[in-house]
A and B are shown apart, each in its own frame.
Chain A
Amino acid sequence: MRQNVSINVHHLTRVEGHGNIVVDVKNGKIEKMQWQVPEAPRFFEAMIRGRHYSEVARITSRICGICAIGHTLASVKATENALGIVVTPQTVKLRTIIKHAENCDSHLLHIYFLVAPDLFGAPSVFPLVPTHTEVVVRALRMKRFAHEWGSLLAGRTTHPTRVIPGGLSEYPTEAELKNLKKRLIDLQPDLDATVKTVLSVADKVPSFERQTEYMALSSDKEYAVYDGVIQTVMPDGKKQRWPVADYKSCTNEYVVPQSTAKYTKNKMASYMAGALARFNNNYDLLHPEAKKLAETLKFKPLCFNPYMNSVAQLVEVVHGVKDSIRLLDEVLGAGYKPEDLVKPKKFGRGQGAVEVPRGILFHEYGYDDKGMCTGGNCIIPTNQNHGNIQLDLEALVPKLLAAEKDEKAIELGLEMLVRAYDPCISCSTHYLKVEFKR
């Protein structure tokens, strides 16, 4: 076993936001093993006080540039809940398609641009442009398509314009929706090629397991992304559910000195959110094509290897594409037409949750009788994962030391682990807190 190791990854690369990994091993003893989050806090909570309900999602969308759609949807759902608004079935379906678009968009970005370079042995995607041109061009083409898919319905993917309390402010034409369906079907060759690329490097995904709790939105009807209740699955397969309104009792936020982001826990010392958590909770409701892919990859629940999160993302890309085709058929078959916004019926407090690429996201707001915001709270998936990342690192370092890996290999293994979570750090240091002022 190695006796002395010193790793200091300052501002880990190929992740969203700023995080550090610090490891100090002296005479075979781990003296320090820390996942640090030094991202500048941004105080969104102080910003939404006194703003009109129509402006709140437009502000909180800016918490994150990758999951802007998810923040907008969670925010709008929480506001609608507070205002007694129940949106139409068509709105729910269109918003679900928007949610699929974001998850696929972000997963493709993560798989191709952030994870793949490690598996191809490159420091970034750029050296792969001349050596793996076809893969890089395909990645950019698919990324652009996912962006156009989300933009057609949401107006924009980075800070969407059309998702507002009560419904959608603008609608694509029927012909545009039919064309979207065609393009989703035509994506098949690119999906197949993506699977092939992943299979070609699948043996490079590290094997490491640590049993933990997994939390995700869950529903009896579908593989939940837009709607559902909170569910966790324990290492023994036991599942438990909570209503979204009780989110604080299963997230239990706390502050730690090495992080400007808060940590969370539920029944175990930490839990994981994200694609692997959804896969472990809701596998049975995946689209048959997505299940088929999982079987090809010999990937089944419960999976305790956090590195497999990126593979779960690939399974979800297939699910998102197929499920969107189904939803488009339903919307187009039910007499698609633009609808008026549903108006507020009351002003009070409300919660909303959606599954963003990195996991379950909660928003909560209160409004006074003029519709002005009195306070809010957001709990972000990456916050929920920080504790689990720390415990994974603590379990992984001794294994890598025992395997006689050199410092460089240990560093890469740790970096890859954090990257597998696809952390969205600027998201997690938004700083909204749980307090309402009247």
Chain B
Amino acid sequence: MSAKRKVKVAFFDFACCEGCQVELTNLSDPIFVGLLDHIEFVEFREVMKEKTTEPIDIAFVEGSFTRESDRARLEDIRKRASIVIAYGACAATAGINAMKNHTTDYKEYVYGKDAAMPHLDSQKALPISAAIKVDYALHGCPMDRAEFVRVVSDLLHGKQPLIPNYPVCVECKMRETVCRYELNDHCLGLVARAGCGAPCPADGIPCEACRGFWDHPNEEAIEEVLKSKGGLSAERAREKTRMFTATMRRDA
């Protein structure tokens, strides 16, 4: 990518809360305006009316793939974009939307007699990589702003972005946060992908693995630790990793 020409960037959304897009508005004025020196937003429904038919350099896609009817829209984005980035947990791993995947009664439970109405269709929540090829993923719920800026910068400089592949525990140790297990709590930091800077344990709550598992999670061990050290019941320990990592479990 040439540094002279502004890189054309677009944002798209599927089943999600759009919080990762909102995070862009929290970047602060110098960073946001600075970014505009290098990139040009060409399509971004949440904040702009303009649309483009030109090729896109980087497409950020937020949200999960939950309806077969969304496949064509995803394929069209892939066709138009040189680089597709799964933007946030819902796109990267299906995130919280996949919590219902192991159940079969969710539609009836929610809609009752209206469940069969065609416009209420929804299948299992899947990462967008289930429909199209994805080049990179920005993990997290919400995605991390600093990581977003770093990945964009890497791509502008023609550098391969590196996404951390070690557990969140490493980051708690680095910022000297007392382990949740030492405080009679539980935590999924042992199996969660780092890169967020471990804000949750530092704020007094467990890591829920919103960035997904790192590449080598020991699922048997985490279940055992949740029970023996975290004091969770056998059932809670077994179900615990459905909140953000349902599609990554062995039984998915």
Contacts and interface: CB of A to CB of B under 8 A. Distances in A.
A164 interface: yes
A40 B91 CA distance: 14
B220 interface: no
Given A113-B47, A124-B47, A161-B203, A257 B117 contact: yes
A347 to B, nearest CB: 15
A156 B196 CA distance: 13
A45 B44 CA distance: 30
Interface in A201-257: 255, 257
A162 to B, nearest CB: 5
Give the dominant DSSP class at A's interface. Answer: loop
B19 A68 contact: yes
A126 B48 contact: yes
Nearest to A164: B205
Contact of B100 (A47, A117, A140): A47
Contacts of A50: 239
Query: Which interface residue of B20, B41, B97, B233 has the most chain A CB atoms within 10 A?
Result: B97
Contact of A62 (B17, B27, B48, B107): B17
Contacts of B50: 123-124, 126
A13 B48 contact: yes
Nearest to A372: B236
Interface stretch (B28-36, B131-139, B146-154): B28-36
Given A59-B96, A155-B203, A45 B18 contact: no
A55 B18 CA distance: 21
Given A113-B25, A143-B25, A159-B142, A11 B110 contact: no
A157 interface: yes
Contact of B110 (A45, A59, A65, A158): A45
Interface string B173-215: 0000000000000000000000000011011110010000000
A328 B188 CA distance: 35
B15 interface: yes
Interface in A46-83: 46-47, 50-52, 55, 58-59, 62-66, 68
A171 to B, nearest CB: 9
A64 B141 CA distance: 11
Contact of A65 (B18, B33, B44): B18
Contacts of A435: 109, 112
Contacts of A55: 208, 243
A257 B13 CA distance: 23
Interface residues of B, number: 63
Interface string B78-98: 000000000000000001110
Nearest to B63: A40
A324 interface: no
With a 10 A CB-CB cut-off, give which of B20, B66, B109 has the most chain A CB atoms. B109
Contacts of A370: 233
A255 B110 CA distance: 12
A136 B239 CA distance: 46
B122 A41 contact: yes
Nearest to A161: B203
B119 interface: yes
Interface in A119-166: 123-126, 129, 136-137, 140-141, 143-144, 147, 155-159, 161-162, 164
B225 interface: no
A405 interface: no
B94 to A, nearest CB: 11
A43 B203 contact: no
A427 B16 CA distance: 9
Contacts of B19: 62, 64-66, 68, 158-159
A93 interface: no
Contacts of B202: 170
A140 B34 CA distance: 12
Contacts of A17: 18
A433 interface: yes
Contacts of A164: 204-205
Given A46-B100, A63-B17, A14 B48 contact: yes
Given A13-B47, A51-B243, A433-B109, 5 more contacts: A45-B110, A52-B236, A62-B95, A65-B142, A161-B203
Interface of B: 13-23, 25-29, 32-33, 36, 41, 44-50, 63, 66-67, 70, 95-97, 99-100, 103, 105-107, 109-112, 114, 117, 119-120, 122, 125, 141-142, 199-200, 202-205, 208, 233, 236, 239, 243
23 contacts: A13-B46, A16-B46, A40-B63, A40-B122, A42-B97, A43-B107, A46-B100, A46-B103, A47-B99, A50-B239, A62-B95, A64-B17, A64-B18, A65-B16, A65-B142, A109-B22, A113-B47, A114-B47, A124-B44, A124-B47, A126-B41, A164-B204, A257-B117
Q: Which 9 residue pairs across A and B have the least CB separation, nearest first?
A: A65-B19, A124-B48, A169-B204, A46-B106, A140-B29, A47-B99, A123-B49, A65-B17, A161-B203
